[in-house]
Amino acid sequence: MRTLHIGLRVTDLERSLAFYSAIGYEVVGSVPETPIGHLTMLKLPDDEFVTVELVHDGKPVDRGTDLSHLVVKVDSMPDMLDILARHGIEPIGQGQESDDGLKTTFITDPDGRRIELVQWPAGHADGITSADWPAKDPHE
């Protein structure tokens, strides 16, 4: 089993496509008429599979508190921030950098959702694994 993708309702499809394209997402395909709206499937260049589905039904998005943030791995934080700046997208708040080289910062999409950008330290796996937590004593 695995999580396939997350579906995000968007108010303005073209504006959202421009935003997610600036991050690096590519459109894989779309389904224009479904019971829940126009669906646009996105993936990142290094992913084989769709990870984000934009759902546009022509209604404004009413943001709740059910989604904290999405996380996107970037190869170089400075390069990504330069690309985003050229698209008029700026980080919200100060980014953080740990002693081991982990870099994080947040941006927001056109509907106000937070996107965390993460640059892993050299040698880190492409995602979070159990190796990111210290081993526990089995007797605890």
Task: Per-residue pLDDT tens, the chain, 140 aa: give them.
Answer: 677 899 999 999 999 999 999 999 999 999 998 989 999 999 999 899 999 999 999 888 887 867 879 999 999 999 999 999 999 999 998 999 988 899 999 999 999 999 999 999 999 888 888 788 776 666 66
The CATH number that applies at residue 94 is 3.10.180.10
Question: Does residue 140 sit within a domain?
Answer: no
Question: Does residue 109 sit within a domain?
Answer: yes
Domain range for 99: 6-60+68-130
10, 61 Cβ separation under 8 angstroms:
yes
pTM over 0.75? The answer is yes
Q: 3-state class of 27 per DSSP? A: strand
Question: Does residue 135 sit within a domain?
Answer: no
* Total structural domains within the chain: 1
Considering only CA atoms, which of 41, 38, 18 is closest in space to residue 28?
41
Considering only CA atoms, which of 10, 48, 13, 56 is closest in space to residue 28?
48
